[in-house]
Amino acid sequence: MKPLRLLSWNILHGGGTRCEQILSTIEQHDPDIVTLQEFRHGRSKSVLLDGLKSLGLDTVFAPDTSSARENSIVIATRLPMQAKSFPDNTVPARAIEATIEVSPMIDINLIAVHFPQKKAQIPLFNALLELPKSWRDGHSLLVGDFNCGIPLVDSETKTFYATHMFQQLLSDGWCDAWRERHPKAREFTWVSTRKSNGFRYDHALASRALDEMIVDVRYDHEAREQKASDHSLMLLDLDC
Query: CA separation (Å) from 115 to 30, 214, 216?
Result: 26, 24, 24
Tell me what the mean pLDDT of segment 216-232 comes to. Answer: 95
Tell me what the mean pLDDT of segment 165-170 comes to. Answer: 98
The band of 136, judged by pLDDT with boundaries at 50, 70 and 90, is very high
Closest CA to 93 of 127, 119, 118, 59: 127
Q: What is the pLDDT of residue 148?
A: 96
Q: What is the pLDDT of residue 8?
A: 98
Q: Find out whether 37 and 112 touch, Cβ atoms under 8 Å.
A: yes
Taking only the tens place, the pLDDT of each residue in 73-117 is 999 999 999 999 998 767 677 899 999 999 989 999 999 999 999
Q: What is the pLDDT of residue 194?
A: 85
Q: What are phi and psi of 77, to 5 degrees?
A: -150, 160
Assign a CATH topology to domain 4-238: Deoxyribonuclease I; Chain A (3.60.10)
The band of 17, judged by pLDDT with boundaries at 50, 70 and 90, is low
Taking only the tens place, the pLDDT of each residue in 35-54 is 999 988 877 788 899 999 99
The band of 65, judged by pLDDT with boundaries at 50, 70 and 90, is confident
